[in-house]
Each structure stands twice: as structure tokens, then as C-alpha cells.
Amino acid sequence: AQSVTQLDSHVSVSEGTPVLLRCNYSSSYSPSLFWYVQHPNKGLQLLLKYTSAATLVKGINGFEAEFKKSETSFHLTKPSAHMSDAAEYFCVVSVNTGGGNKLTFGTGTQLKVEL
């Protein structure tokens, strides 16, 4: 079984400062990991993915995440926050169980960006 823990339900940063959204995972298999973003009243958008290639993954809009197996972490970072980054972020683990890739979502982190 797999699980995801997002350590912060809410994160607030000032525009232009770094963003750190924390995620720890648990998986019996070699996981694939994702970050999705959900803007208010919008659908889910894939930010980035880790699938056992490079451990530092770059995504859209300047976001990146580093897979650390020893720490079972996949934290999302961005050097400089923008007002448009305010949204809900979900860390997701995927495991291929033979019946397809099942996604397990974290509980989400609400990012607030202030002037």
C-alpha cells in the first residue's frame, strides 16, 4: 500500500520569496511521484513528475522537486513566488499494481501569496 503525507495544510509566503511545500511518501514498490496544482474553480494541472530518472525534476512555471529516497520525501520548491501561484497543491504517489497506475493523493497544501 502507498500513502502520501503533506506536512502543511496551509503555507503563506510573500511575493518574490521562496516556496517550499513538503511531501513525504510511503510505498511498497518503486513509486512514481507527482505534484498537481488546482486553482480555484479550475481543473487539476500536472506540475511535474518523477519516474525513476533524474532525482531533481523540473516542472512548469519554475517549480521543481527533488526525490530523496533516504528521506522518503518529494518536496516542491520555487525560488520566487508569484501571485499567480496561489492555489491548492497536491502531492501524489502512483504505483503500478498490474491493474493500472493507481494514484493516491495527499490532503493538499493551500498556498497563499501575499504582496
Partner 1 sequence: SAVISQKPSRDICQRGTSLTIQCQVDSQVTMMFWYRQQPGQSLTLIATANQGSEATYESGFVIDKFPISRPNLTFSTLTVSNMSPEDSSIYLCSVTQGSYEQYFGPGTRLTVT
Q: Report if residue 101 touches partner 1, rule: CB under 8 A.
A: yes
Distance of closest approach, residue 7 Cβ to partner 1, in angstroms: 14
Write down the least CB distance from residue 36 to partner 1, Å: 8
d(CA 102, CA 108): 18
Take residue 96 and report the three cell numbers written for it: 503500478
Task: Record the cell numbers describing residue 16, joined without a space.
Answer: 518574490
Span from 21-29, 60-68, 79-87, 106-114 in contact with partner 1 (CB under 8 A): 106-114
Smallest distance from partner 1 to CB 46, Å = 6
CA distance 115 to 103: 35
Select from 12, 16, 26, 44 the one that contacts partner 1 (CB under 8 A): 44
Among 39, 68, 102, 112, binds partner 1 (CB under 8 A): 102
Rounded (10°) CA dihedral 16, 58, 90, 51? -170
Q: Which of 28, 40, 43, 53 binds partner 1 (CB under 8 A)?
A: 43
Q: Which residues contact partner 1 (rule: CB under 8 A)? A: 32, 34, 36, 42-44, 46, 49, 51, 90, 94, 96, 99-108
